Structure 1
């Protein structure tokens, strides 16, 4: 068994002086050793077993809460910039969209929380997260509905037996504030009952402004509670609840012209100041873990997610914009959405030997019940010219709708996976999954396999090759009544990936280097385009255009380069195109899929009290339209930070200063011609963190 470097350092520093003629006491000297808080060796929440990353035939990145705290991140998007395989899409309407290996992550199938599929149509509350795991490539074998790019699993903080109480406050130069309390500990003397509670209050003032001069604002509250109870030495039950209330003014993004120049000022919001979105999200669930024997355990999980949203839109139309008069049409409406997302799973995990061959076997079943209801009412359209007084908010309400819709389906799958160890050098991972989705008037069934071979030249390195498939059932028809193909049935989307990779731990396993070459194909891709000449109220055309092919490679480094220098770095090259598509898209590159992207975040500890951070985030040229005629320039954003730690009256205090976009770089983020994100200039953040 290989000893942890921390233990080796401690053992090596112990000196014992024993006199030959007298009996002396032992003299033990313990020297300090590093704590590697940039590197995690497994992704249990995402892979459903205890296999390490070196035993996983797939590219996986784990972003720790240390990095999240150092960057003073407030959104999941700020966290995911630390992995170059993830690039940002549109950030309109107070939510974030991401592309993984060039494929957009779906709100319903692209995100997990603690292994549960998680409806993610909103900005995630990252303050409750312990780490974020990014699983690259189709992962349908474990979770069923899964896109070709992969999955993002959010691992939440858990109760601790040790009492902790952390409080923090941060502020930026615009006056935005965030206050957080995180408390945990045992509730009984025997420590068999433990709890953790987190409260967050955030008020955001954005740098972009409405045309009447008002600032865009956001008001967010988060409350979370997790309770663990040890039923016995072999059984644990966990109950969790969290609620997010998030209200914000709307900003559907900037408009750009054919040269990718922002139309008007970078600060201008085209939406009216009375447009808003109001979201309430609740999660309630229970998990049970029981060890049936030394090498066998069963895990059960259940979660109910309720997502309610009102969105009052002014809905400015880019297609109606008249550049000479600076006039455009708005089409206001009030809309209420209600999503009910219920998930459950049961896993049996066992380790055993047959004929000298070791097995780590996973057999499981999971299910998803999905319900969606929309109420909507529209007001009369109006024209607006920059400089005129803003029209009053229309007197309409979704409570008296002129349009309603409902969608409901059940989804379940049975899966099996076996990690077979033939020798210390050779392992094989294989498995399969059967899925069935039941929807009114239409059912979908599928079987997806997965196979991987791992070779370990030594105990700190892995070379692997893998094959996996994905399956995504689609809605029955195209439901946008403003689309020329409204009502057209949509077939299931399938995908497959071939990947060859290497993982290598260096410097006494303190630094993990990894690289992967991948080839992903997706069949049945949906593409929506604006019509050059709208036909009445019909403004878009959606088609399943055939195959989308993404090939490329990734390299990454994560961990401690020295006792004082920590690093998380990654880069990706991506060759992405539509193939066997219609004439308009054949050979074209998807929107927001750069050829090159890279990220770097580091910490250098000057001493035990002072540390410095520096980061650089690069995005190559990207297309803003599917015709590939509008190109957004490449950019590099540089961030820096510093922290000072000290103790006052038995309280650990951490003061932090971060400067985002140090060189005030102007750039365009994700999004297309009518919803592009304009990069913010230099922004200062200050934070104080207290640990009692």
Structure 2
């Protein structure tokens, strides 16, 4: 019991350790410490446009929001979205199989089709998102369906991309880790004409990653990734600005679906064992292109119109090893670790076309100021799949590995296709009654049309918030909001209910929160209590002893998540910067019974820990030297929805140091990071069939050059 509590106490203390800054709020601000805009040293953000679809101060935003700036991404040498989101304790990671990342927010899993935004537009996220093009990541907590439509009640992740710059800038970076992984980055921006009305931002990335886990022939998983991105902005005199963007990601890697856990929660085999065949791979290609038009209609009104087309194609040659067959064959007396696999070659084509139009303005009426948002957005979705499947085979570890099968998805003459259109119309009014009180009223009407499926839907989603400012630097708010999430149909041939149409999931949320700017405005303290209930819950259970199906997806019942969050982000002194958070979560299923008669009521969803916490700090010794220390804690989590398998709590400590110098007008930043400093052995996200084994101690070196 002492071991379990110690990491938690450490994590909470890291947050509460920021409270001495309260003593500074009544003192004059050091003239040398005024922080404006985004600087190298700035951990704190003042706004998060994704939260309100407009530039509203976080103190006027009745919702808990975490903004993770680019400086923290750079300091941590992050290469994936998951390596960034560990900085918010309300986000927990799930499975990483098939070269993608899964996350839960406040315990609710984010859907790859509706849980993520890119510059406020819905983005398909069935892959590892590139982060080198991002200037910040906004974690929007609680239901956001009023502004964005279909989404889970836990919240959304909004990825904000880098913008063209006026001043010329050129940066080159290189990093390497002890496994032999390398990454090269180039980032450039500036004006393309003398009047500076045409500007650009360009990014190139080449990554070759080596991972420590091994296939059964001794080879390791590898990843080959290329990213190219270009953004342009053009000033249309003084009445508007036209922006265009294009990016291409090519990402190919071997498949590692993760570790298998036995009935006691122990890893089957060695921590480094990959059950997939070494010839299995996923090959992703993702393109985005689009336009945005900002119009300055008057002193009080602006309009923004935008379009983005995301094209995501993927080939997956999968060996599909069966955990269930391993357990069945073991129970039948086979002690040689044999298991079955069924290879298939699959091609997926996702097309996401998004459109939006927002009108933002300020009017005075009925003795109050109204900050209005009137808007509409649309999603045009298409999905197509080709699949060629092989026979089920048995493999015994230690024997010669089977060769790559002769499969080709082009042999499939029955292409599976699905498409729908989704429309939303929304109105939001932030009413300032006086210097102390504000009221937020909003509503959204949604229509989904899915031709030929009979799965059309309509909904109205409201949001109401009361905001009280007891002082200029503080806010207390109470919010009620709802979520609406169409489910489509089950699209998994290994699921017993494959092809079944699912009804929408709905959610209701109450949130009571407070925000305070302390230390002369340099530190933001944020706390919230929340109560979220989701109805008509979709659950997927693992089928034991079924030779035909691995899972069964059903609906019904409720899921209630109650909890509390506390975070602090910003600057404690001229040298000390912090980003810390802690979450307590009580998550339970209610009134849910599976088709096999298993009562899930009172059970906790997978990867929803009762306690989680994170802390990342930087101490700036002088203009050259800076040191970082991070701590990331997750409490016990369940690996199965029947709560029969538990994953232990863990605390991971990271450390880093950087040295900055200037040689002949070239600014160089050299960095050494040590991830998992004390070599903690732990199981991260995922179920008993696809658990992620945490990396051991890993040294990473980087060099960055700015011209």
Deviation at residue 532 of structure 1 after TM alignment:
2.4
For structure 1, the 5+ residue unaligned runs are 14-32
Deviation at residue 34 of structure 1 after TM alignment:
9.1
* Cα distance change, pair 313–34 in 1 and its aligned pair in 2 (3 A): closer
Count of residues in correspondence between the two structures: 667
CA contact (8 A) 2:616 2:631 kept: yes
2:482 to 469, 474, 478: 469
- Between the aligned partners of 1:526 and 1:403, the Cα distance in structure 2 is 28
Deviation at residue 402 of structure 1 after TM alignment:
6.0
CA displacement 1:360-404 (0-9 Å, x = unmatched): 000001000000000001011211111111110101100111653
What is residue 174 of structure 2 aligned with on the other side? 169
Work out whether 1:190 is the aligned partner of 2:203: no
Work out whether 1:668 is the aligned partner of 2:679: no
What is residue 358 of structure 1 aligned with on the other side? 369
- Between the aligned partners of 1:290 and 1:489, the Cα distance in structure 2 is 42
- Give 3-state SS (helix, strand or coil) of 2:577's partner: strand
Rg (Cα) greater in structure:
1
Deviation at residue 584 of structure 1 after TM alignment:
2.1
CA displacement 1:455-476 (0-9 Å, x = unmatched): 001110000000000001121x
For structure 2, the 5+ residue unaligned runs are 1-24
Deviation at residue 165 of structure 1 after TM alignment:
0.2
1:646 to 644, 656, 661: 661
Q: Spell out the pairing of 1:312-331 with structure 2 (5 A cutoff).
A: 312-321=317-326, 322-323=329-330, 324-331=335-342
Work out whether 1:409 is the aligned partner of 2:424: no
2:702 to 684, 687, 690: 687
Deviation at residue 659 of structure 1 after TM alignment:
0.1
* Cα distance change, pair 427–403 in 1 and its aligned pair in 2 (3 A): same
* Cα distance change, pair 403–672 in 1 and its aligned pair in 2 (3 A): farther
Work out whether 1:458 is the aligned partner of 2:471: yes
- Give 3-state SS (helix, strand or coil) of 1:152's partner: strand
Q: Spell out the pairing of 1:41-80 with structure 2 (5 A cutoff).
A: 41-80=46-85
Q: Spell out the pairing of 1:418-433 with structure 2 (5 A cutoff).
A: 418-433=429-444
* Cα distance change, pair 253–11 in 1 and its aligned pair in 2 (3 A): closer
What is residue 605 of structure 1 aligned with on the other side? 620
TM (norm. structure 1) is 0.95
CA displacement 1:94-144 (0-9 Å, x = unmatched): 110000000000011000000110001111110000000000011011111
Q: Spell out the pairing of 1:223-372 with structure 2 (5 A cutoff).
A: 223-321=228-326, 322-323=329-330, 324-372=335-383
- Between the aligned partners of 2:55 and 2:585, the Cα distance in structure 1 is 31
CA displacement 1:436-468 (0-9 Å, x = unmatched): 000023210000000000000111000000000
CA displacement 1:186-220 (0-9 Å, x = unmatched): 00101000001000000000010110011110000
CA contact (8 A) 1:34 1:563 kept: no
Work out whether 1:542 is the aligned partner of 2:553: yes
Work out whether 1:90 is the aligned partner of 2:95: yes
Work out whether 1:115 is the aligned partner of 2:120: yes
Structure 1 runs, 4 residues or longer, greater than 6 Å off: none
- Give 3-state SS (helix, strand or coil) of 2:71's partner: helix
- Between the aligned partners of 1:484 and 1:217, the Cα distance in structure 2 is 33
Deviation at residue 581 of structure 1 after TM alignment:
1.1
- Between the aligned partners of 2:354 and 2:202, the Cα distance in structure 1 is 23
CA contact (8 A) 2:40 2:71 kept: no
Deviation at residue 645 of structure 1 after TM alignment:
0.3
Work out whether 1:592 is the aligned partner of 2:611: no
What is residue 12 of structure 2 aligned with on the other side? none
- Between the aligned partners of 1:538 and 1:218, the Cα distance in structure 2 is 30
- Between the aligned partners of 1:243 and 1:338, the Cα distance in structure 2 is 15
- Between the aligned partners of 1:403 and 1:617, the Cα distance in structure 2 is 47
What is residue 448 of structure 2 aligned with on the other side? 437
Deviation at residue 481 of structure 1 after TM alignment:
3.6
1:179 to 168, 175, 184: 184
RMSD: 1.7
Deviation at residue 11 of structure 1 after TM alignment:
9.1
CA contact (8 A) 2:170 2:188 kept: yes
- Between the aligned partners of 2:568 and 2:261, the Cα distance in structure 1 is 36
* Cα distance change, pair 355–251 in 1 and its aligned pair in 2 (3 A): same
- Between the aligned partners of 2:292 and 2:276, the Cα distance in structure 1 is 43
CA displacement 1:346-368 (0-9 Å, x = unmatched): 00000121143111000001000
Deviation at residue 545 of structure 1 after TM alignment:
2.8
CA contact (8 A) 1:46 1:115 kept: no
The higher-RCO structure (CA 8 Å, 6+ apart) is: 2
- Between the aligned partners of 1:680 and 1:234, the Cα distance in structure 2 is 52
TM (norm. structure 2) is 0.93
* Cα distance change, pair 295–648 in 1 and its aligned pair in 2 (3 A): same
2:219 to 214, 217, 239: 214
Work out whether 1:552 is the aligned partner of 2:563: yes
- Between the aligned partners of 1:509 and 1:12, the Cα distance in structure 2 is 10
- Give 3-state SS (helix, strand or coil) of 1:39's partner: coil
- Between the aligned partners of 2:668 and 2:198, the Cα distance in structure 1 is 29
CA displacement 1:304-332 (0-9 Å, x = unmatched): 00000000001100001144111000100
- Between the aligned partners of 2:679 and 2:542, the Cα distance in structure 1 is 33
- Between the aligned partners of 2:217 and 2:124, the Cα distance in structure 1 is 35
CA contact (8 A) 1:572 1:598 kept: yes
CA displacement 1:586-643 (0-9 Å, x = unmatched): 1111011000000000000011100000000000000011111111000000000000
2:518 to 506, 509, 516: 506
Work out whether 1:491 is the aligned partner of 2:503: yes
CA contact (8 A) 2:206 2:225 kept: yes
CA contact (8 A) 1:252 1:675 kept: yes
